[in-house]
Structure 1
Amino acid sequence: MACATAPCVAPAPVARAVQGLLAVLAWAVLSAPVRAQTSAPDGHPAGVPLRSSPLLQESLPEAARQQAPTFVSGERITGQTDALTVVEGEAELRRHGTVIKADRLQFDTRDSEAQATGQVLINSNGNRFEGPELQINVDTGKGTFTQPSFSLLKNEGLGDASRVDFLDKDHLVAHDARYSTCPRTPGERWMPDWLVRAQRIEIDNIEEVGLATGGVLEFKGVPILAAPYLSFPLTDKRKSGVLPPTINLDNISGLELTLPYYLNLAPHFDATLYPTLMSKRGVDLAGEFRYLQPAYNGRLRAAYMPSDKLRDRDRWGYAVQHDQRLALPDTLRGLGLSGAMGLRLNLNRVSDDDYWRDFPRSSTSLTSRLLANEAALNWGQGPWSISAGAYQWQTLQDTAAPITPPYDRLPSLALRYARSDDTLAGLGGNWDWSVQTETTRFRADSIGGLDRLNGTRSLAVADLTRRWQTPGWFVQPRARLHTAQYRLDSLRADRPQSLSRTLPTLSLDSGLVLERDADYFGRAFIQTLEPRAFFTWTPYRNQALLPNYDSAANDFNFASIYTENAFGGHDRISDTRSVTVGATSRLLDPGTGVEVLRLGLAQRFLLRDQQVTLPPADCASPSQAGCSAITNRLSDVLVGARMQWDPRWTLDANVQFRPEDRESVRTTLSGRYTPSPFRVLSAAYRLQRGASEQFDIGWQWPLNDLWGTPAQRRPGAQALGPGQWYSVGRINYSVPDRKVVDLLAGFEYDGGCWLGRVVVERLQRSTASANQRVLFQLEFTGFSRIGSNPLQTLRDNVPRYQYLREEINPPSRFQHYD
């Protein structure tokens, strides 16, 4: 039998071929329903019938795969029916998931054994192998390939070996192998920038991992890491094992070496261990445990350092976050209640006051000087909501800059009923009203001679709001009644043990929204003018004897200037009789509605003095906001602007101007230039007169732009392509101190199949000292990282920083189609 170039079916009984084709067709039709653009009855929208699959993987049942037909083609085919078939000249064999091409191909239909010689290529589910000689069982996938080079689909890994043993269709072993993800250069001997040389490399496509035995990692021809076993991923699928070590050089803790180990305990929970050796301190044993279930999720982080050599004591810290949805008890369901309860735990503790300073990068939640600890239950159904919890703080003190610890709330119980767009009898609809009650016991330890007024506060707040609104104007009156009752824990000579306060508040918010067509600099816009007037009235009540558990002066900005109370919290309510007037003008793109320019102006006019202040114990100086009575009839003027005339440029400006002094009290000017991906420049100037003045500059920019044609991102490419240097950093400079407060600066290099990073970081610990460290990392794409990892630091500090290896969809198996 002979065929010239046209495909032929390998000799087999007609009945067997028909059975195979029928099995394949039956599986394709019956294995799963397929729907596309189905019509929904009764005019209802149809559900989404199609679901994308990035790999388009087929998975034939084993019985159907055994009966799948085998196709062979070539320049000359000879053989016997149901026996041996020999194909010569551009020989090709195709069977489900497997393609073999060779100069000469021999296939035995009785046992599905194939032998190929010459220029041999086998493509198994997208994994390609090329070499001089192949022997394989097409049914089982078991076989041997001599001196092949190979290309793996899932991570685009490349390599070669003296021999590859196919254990089955999903497992193989490469002997005397080289492996890398660096591309081959046509016509040249393959010498990648990095590679792994190993006695054997095992590839497991089920677990999606590789294991190199007796492996040596080489970079630019220089061995940099040797290990008896090197495990590496084929995809981003989680797997247990040793993670790349990280190395930091810190001026306080010395050399820091971390050897993390990841434990993929189950699909819904995992753990990571972070043993760290600090040359000047000792060994820090840290770890993280994460879990995720349909009804709850959370994480636990903990660290323990026995006998810190610099502090001469044990150091420890932990952070627990847990959120859970709880079923409502049967007792409450019997009362007609429904829904579910929510449980929230947030626990953070450290061993001592210096922890935040000595371990600034250990955990985001443990580096603050105020560590929150809370346990809370909440429930809601319709307009009703209830919450109960305990809230406690750990305050980390600094003798050079002490802070007053906030009061703990042990416990706190709140009940709220709220309705929106409701109808009140005789008053029509569109009414919003709510009633909120809360009872809390406050407790705090005395510190530095400061006497704390521990006690219990019960309060009730009732709100009633009606809003009239059309496209061109709105009017919103609001009435509030606030009452609070205090019961102190102990008798005091300077105040009664029981105190109370009841205050009404009335406000009226109103505004216009005017529009017109406009043209500026040859560009058409919709221009708006939005004047706004806000009136509020609250009578004066002497609140000097009331304890202050949670009140502080609101920040003065465009949001707070249109509110009734100058204080946050419930312990101080400002006696306000004022009118706030302001206006905003916007330029909108008529085609997209995008805001191109916004200008805002606002000022508050007091109709009488504001006498309510914070207690002197809560004020560092009388000039602090909320610490002195306000007698000026005119407040500071707020001026704000934001412009994005070009999508690449964003400019912001906010100024708090004091008319009587003719100077700005607070100024913030910022700008950002983002012409394209991986190019961003940002700068900001911040002034708070009498307190601070700073310049802040951040950037990520390819340095090749300075000495060559700016590179552009190509479709489907990572970053701007190989051979690019990037500068990245952020600098915060204090004008009064005439020094850099915080610094992050470094370089990144994209080698295509590897990335290099070196970053210098400086964090101010106090007015006299700072933490400094150097981070250096090599990232071998699709394999591993070596060195310290600055990525999280760059993301947290550099505005709009982009990782040079963004996550992309995995390659299609048809990317290596033959």
Structure 2
Amino acid sequence: MKGKTRSFCAPPLPLAMLALALLHAHGAAAQNAPADTAWIDAPLTLQRTPQIPETIPQAEHGERPSFIEGDRLSGRPNLETVVEGNASLRRGDTAIRADRLEYYQPDDTAKATGNVHVNQAGNTYDGPELQLKVETFEGFFNNVRYAFLAGGHGDAPRIDFVDSNVSVARNATYTTCRREDYPGWMPAWLLTAATLTTDTEENVGVATDARLSFMGITTPALPSMSFPLSSDRKSGLLAPTFGYGSTNGLEWRQPYYWNIAPNRDATFYANLMSSRGIDTSSEFRYLEDTYHGQVRVDYMPSDTLRDRERWGFWSQHNQTFDPKPFGLDSLSGSLTINRVSDNDYWRDFSQTPSLTTRLLTNQAALDWSKGDWSGEARALAYQTLQYAASPVTPPYDRMPQLTANYNKYDWNGFDVSVGLDYTRFHIDSAYAPTLNGIAQPNGERMVGNFQISRPWVTPSAYVIPKLLLHTAAYQLDSPLASGATSITSTVPTFSLDSGLVFERDTSFFGRAVRQTLEPRMYYVHTPYRDQSQLPVYDTAANDFSFATIYTENAFSGNDRVSDTNTLTTGVTSRLIDPDTGVEAARLGFAQRFRFSDQNVTLPSGTAVTDRVSDFLIGGQVNWSATWSSDALVQYNIDTHTSTRNALSLRYAPAPQHVLNFAYRYSADTTTTSDDGTRSIDLSWQWPLSDLWDGNSQGPTPKKTPGRWSAVGRINYSMRDHDLGVGVVGFEYNACCWIGRIALERQVSGVTTPTTRLMFQIEFNGLASVGSSPTSSFAQNIQGYQSVHSTTSTSSRFTNYD
């Protein structure tokens, strides 16, 4: 049978040797702590309160009845009972079956011989001879084969039961490989130990004089090794991770996990980099009823590559206040701190949050609500990590910002909203933008946004007229080019939104659907007000898209309100499943007509004079769970060319089967040439066995052992003929162990891309060795699903067998 032979599951011999060498160098291992990943990848799996299983009080143990069955029963009342042939004894969560069973009532001892099977709360034991005190579960089992409820199993010449939770096996073996996957019982990996102590209550196993055999290669003896019996967290050393990067060189990372409480834990790291030195890290996480958060500190006393001290600090805290003061409906707060020692930190250390951004946010905020009012008080500052080859223009700090919002719906048929904002803006003068030939000054801004609308809405039509008033007042630290230190602005706006909705039942390609036709007209009129002297603190031009074409203002932020006299027309058609309401397809068209020039611009901008905008065409199809597509075309009717195209396709016929394709084009509007930006993005996760043995997975893939999967993403610039972000790797699912290898290329605004080689072997239920690439796969591949263990665990109902 395919996928069942040992040779099919075997990796190349060097992988086995490398994995065993790492395990031996590690010594002891304590697994399944959730911190064996970078800060940004670690899931918060803390519990607010411990889960305590229901147990029978000790005082009631003697009151539980015993049920004895068999072909032939004999004995003396209240002294002994002998059962021969299909003998069984049950009490509580313990069941014993055997060919012959002797039960001595005075000391509550059961002796069983011949095909003995014991099920104790789902943990099973099989062998020829058992002696056991049933109530306390004290005794021994000779030549036993055992299987724990959590999934691991093995055998031993003798196992001693200390109580219902703790047992000690002599000269024991342990593995999570399934016997049915390895004919002749030659598991891929096998742990042997002089003693194997298991505690099912603590879900931990401890092996002494332990050796791990993997694909025929055995490690030297480890004095002691601990491992989990389930996925619960536990304190101890984690398996080390290693990797190679073009900047840091060879990396060896050794974590230690401290399971402080069900709702608190900590992880400590020692990271050796051959090109830099030793970097130490610590993480602390907490979860309470009204607050939760996490803190991380990295410290490198001496970086030999940069010849300096390096450090990083990241902290996030969120809290709700209860009872709520001042009669508020809600009050919550948050604190975020992200700081590093220098500008190069983001590109030197790949295991930190600074890899994802060069603008590190530092913020304290307090949010409140009461009735129709809500608001926020916050202080926001950025640490900008500059790099000469790719400089970043930092945003303004907001120190502080106070907002208040009022929203009242259906007030005598009207919707009313008020938005108030006070902000003090600050930026280093070296990065201040210019305004009318001088550096823009720091200052304060007070904004008021007032809206009132009267919606008329029916199932088939709607008309929504709206009046808006935007006011802004600035108090500046230094004079503007005009000499003023204060300036105000008031801009009114009128808009009218209207649309119709038509429906009909029809069918496409033999599928019954409900089709809609939704024409829409949106008129906006904003008179011109000169705003060229106003500072620009948080404002940018909106991108032209379906998300912004039906908006009043051509800018985001509060420093500019565009003078507008436009009519936007569009139509959308949807195909909806009449039974489920799921949207199977959507197609939309939109275009904006301008009746006068737009003269309000950002600094160095030019007036918009086009009377007719580009034509937007967009569609999305989710015809089935297997295929989906999305497309957008922005077409310029004057030049008869498209200025932007985007097409994406996704094929996902089954779990762990996904192909993604995207093509993007954006014209260069600064030139008349057709030298735009074109890129192709391809990502995938696909079992290779589907290609070479015809093992079609169908809607539910078969979890066969020894299955290779290809995983990767390639982003290619057709104009520059250059590979951008890229990751290519393979996963090997071999029943009770998983191998992963990947090569990653990252481009984060630097002139020289960085590369990383990641390699991991995961022994299901025991340990994982190496640097896991799964977080990189998840970030780069839409729809990626991690390959998990195929080892099946027993049901908690197996104690009723």
AA matched with 2:743: V
Q: Structure 2 matches for 1:774-793, cutoff 5 A?
A: 774-793=757-776
AA matched with 2:201: I
AA matched with 1:121: H
AA matched with 2:350: P
> Of 388, 391, 403, which residue of structure 2 is paired with 1:399?
388
How many equivalent pairs are there? 739
Query: Is the 8 Å Cα contact of residues 390 and 749 (structure 2) preserved in structure 1?
Result: no
Structure 1 pair 767–274 and aligned structure 2 pair: CA distance change class (3 A): closer
Correspondence for 2:164: 169
Per the TM alignment, residue 358 of structure 1 is displaced from its structure 2 partner at its CA by 1.4
2-structure distance, mates of 1:763, 1:644: 32
Q: Structure 2 matches for 1:207-246, cutoff 5 A?
A: 207-224=202-219, 227-246=222-241
AA matched with 1:373: N
Correspondence for 1:134: 130
1-structure distance, mates of 2:691, 2:457: 55
AA matched with 1:742: V
Per the TM alignment, residue 189 of structure 1 is displaced from its structure 2 partner at its CA by 4.6
Query: Is the 8 Å Cα contact of residues 712 and 720 (structure 1) preserved in structure 2?
Result: no
Is residue 2:373 matched to residue 1:378? no
1-structure distance, mates of 2:120, 2:104: 19
Per the TM alignment, residue 185 of structure 1 is displaced from its structure 2 partner at its CA by 3.9
Correspondence for 1:704: 689
Structure 1 pair 383–187 and aligned structure 2 pair: CA distance change class (3 A): closer
Structure 1 pair 448–341 and aligned structure 2 pair: CA distance change class (3 A): closer
Structure 1 pair 809–134 and aligned structure 2 pair: CA distance change class (3 A): closer
2-structure distance, mates of 1:63, 1:448: 75
SS of residue in 2 equivalent to 1:794 = helix
> Of 111, 116, 119, which residue of structure 2 is paired with 1:120?
116
AA matched with 1:501: S
SS of residue in 2 equivalent to 1:560 = coil
**Bigger mean CA offset, 489-498 vs 452-461:** 489-498
| 1:446-493 residue CA offsets vs partner (Å, 9 max, x unmatched) | 226852410111111111112111111111111111111001112345
Provide the alpha-carbon RMSD of the alignment.
Answer: 2.3
Per the TM alignment, residue 194 of structure 1 is displaced from its structure 2 partner at its CA by 0.8
Query: Is the 8 Å Cα contact of residues 328 and 368 (structure 2) preserved in structure 1?
Result: no
> Of 188, 194, 197, which residue of structure 2 is paired with 1:193?
188
> Of 598, 602, 620, which residue of structure 2 is paired with 1:614?
602
| 1:733-765 residue CA offsets vs partner (Å, 9 max, x unmatched) | 111221211111111111111111111111124
2-structure distance, mates of 1:282, 1:377: 41
Is residue 2:665 matched to residue 1:687? yes
Per the TM alignment, residue 122 of structure 1 is displaced from its structure 2 partner at its CA by 1.8
Structure 1 pair 493–761 and aligned structure 2 pair: CA distance change class (3 A): closer
Structure 1 pair 56–258 and aligned structure 2 pair: CA distance change class (3 A): closer
Structure 1 pair 101–518 and aligned structure 2 pair: CA distance change class (3 A): closer
| 1:529-562 residue CA offsets vs partner (Å, 9 max, x unmatched) | 1111110011111111111000001111101000
SS of residue in 2 equivalent to 1:561 = coil
Structure 1 pair 251–138 and aligned structure 2 pair: CA distance change class (3 A): same
Correspondence for 2:346: 356
2-structure distance, mates of 1:274, 1:574: 53
Is residue 2:333 matched to residue 1:343? yes
Correspondence for 2:613: 635
Structure showing greater relative contact order (alpha-carbon pairs closer than 8 Å, 6 or more residues apart) = 2
Aligned-residue identity in percent: 47
Is residue 2:709 matched to residue 1:726? yes
AA matched with 2:111: Q
Correspondence for 1:756: 739
| 1:691-741 residue CA offsets vs partner (Å, 9 max, x unmatched) | 6321100111111111223343797xx863323211111111111221211
Is residue 2:62 matched to residue 1:79? no
Structure 1 pair 172–317 and aligned structure 2 pair: CA distance change class (3 A): same
Contiguous gaps of at least 5 residues in structure 2: 1-50, 434-438, 669-675
Query: Is the 8 Å Cα contact of residues 406 and 417 (structure 2) preserved in structure 1?
Result: yes
Which has the larger Rg? 1
AA matched with 2:686: W
Q: Structure 2 matches for 1:451-466, cutoff 5 A?
A: 451-466=439-454
Is residue 2:64 matched to residue 1:68? yes
Structure 1 pair 809–324 and aligned structure 2 pair: CA distance change class (3 A): farther
Is residue 2:111 matched to residue 1:108? no
Structure 1 pair 366–804 and aligned structure 2 pair: CA distance change class (3 A): closer
Structure 1 pair 449–117 and aligned structure 2 pair: CA distance change class (3 A): closer
Correspondence for 1:311: 306
SS of residue in 2 equivalent to 1:705 = helix
1-structure distance, mates of 2:309, 2:255: 22
Correspondence for 1:261: 256
1-structure distance, mates of 2:766, 2:147: 15
Correspondence for 1:768: 751
Correspondence for 2:526: 538
Contiguous gaps of at least 5 residues in structure 1: 1-54, 424-428, 617-626
Structure 1 pair 203–329 and aligned structure 2 pair: CA distance change class (3 A): closer
Query: Is the 8 Å Cα contact of residues 210 and 222 (structure 2) preserved in structure 1?
Result: yes
Structure 1 pair 764–497 and aligned structure 2 pair: CA distance change class (3 A): same
**Bigger mean CA offset, 218-227 vs 680-689:** 218-227
Q: Structure 2 matches for 1:486-505, cutoff 5 A?
A: 486-505=474-493
Is residue 2:437 matched to residue 1:441? no
Per the TM alignment, residue 812 of structure 1 is displaced from its structure 2 partner at its CA by 2.3
SS of residue in 2 equivalent to 1:591 = coil
Structure 1 pair 670–289 and aligned structure 2 pair: CA distance change class (3 A): same
2-structure distance, mates of 1:409, 1:800: 37
Query: Is the 8 Å Cα contact of residues 348 and 366 (structure 1) preserved in structure 2?
Result: no
| 1:313-372 residue CA offsets vs partner (Å, 9 max, x unmatched) | 112112111111125786xx3xxx333421111111111111111123422x55301111
**Bigger mean CA offset, 481-490 vs 638-647:** 638-647
SS of residue in 1 equivalent to 2:691 = helix
| 1:192-218 residue CA offsets vs partner (Å, 9 max, x unmatched) | 111111121111111111111222222
1-structure distance, mates of 2:161, 2:75: 27
| 1:140-164 residue CA offsets vs partner (Å, 9 max, x unmatched) | 11111122111111x2211011221
| 1:261-311 residue CA offsets vs partner (Å, 9 max, x unmatched) | 111111221111222111111111112211111111111122112211111
Structure 1 pair 325–512 and aligned structure 2 pair: CA distance change class (3 A): same
| 1:759-800 residue CA offsets vs partner (Å, 9 max, x unmatched) | 111112446311111111111222221111111111111110
Correspondence for 2:508: 520
AA matched with 2:651: Y
AA matched with 2:572: T
Correspondence for 1:802: 785
1-structure distance, mates of 2:350, 2:415: 46
Q: Structure 2 matches for 1:9-158, cutoff 5 A?
A: 59-153=55-149, 155-158=150-153
SS of residue in 2 equivalent to 1:562 = coil
AA matched with 1:138: V
> Of 573, 582, 586, which residue of structure 1 is paired with 2:570?
582
| 1:61-97 residue CA offsets vs partner (Å, 9 max, x unmatched) | 3333312222333344332222233333333222222
**Bigger mean CA offset, 337-346 vs 645-654:** 337-346
SS of residue in 2 equivalent to 1:795 = helix
2-structure distance, mates of 1:187, 1:734: 47
SS of residue in 2 equivalent to 1:236 = coil
1-structure distance, mates of 2:52, 2:440: 67
Per the TM alignment, residue 225 of structure 1 is displaced from its structure 2 partner at its CA by 7.6
Is residue 2:405 matched to residue 1:410? no
Correspondence for 2:639: 661
Per the TM alignment, residue 572 of structure 1 is displaced from its structure 2 partner at its CA by 0.9
2-structure distance, mates of 1:487, 1:186: 75
1-structure distance, mates of 2:629, 2:139: 65
- With normalisation by structure 1, the TM-score equals 0.87
2-structure distance, mates of 1:671, 1:133: 62
Correspondence for 1:420: 409
Query: Is the 8 Å Cα contact of residues 151 and 792 (structure 2) preserved in structure 1?
Result: no
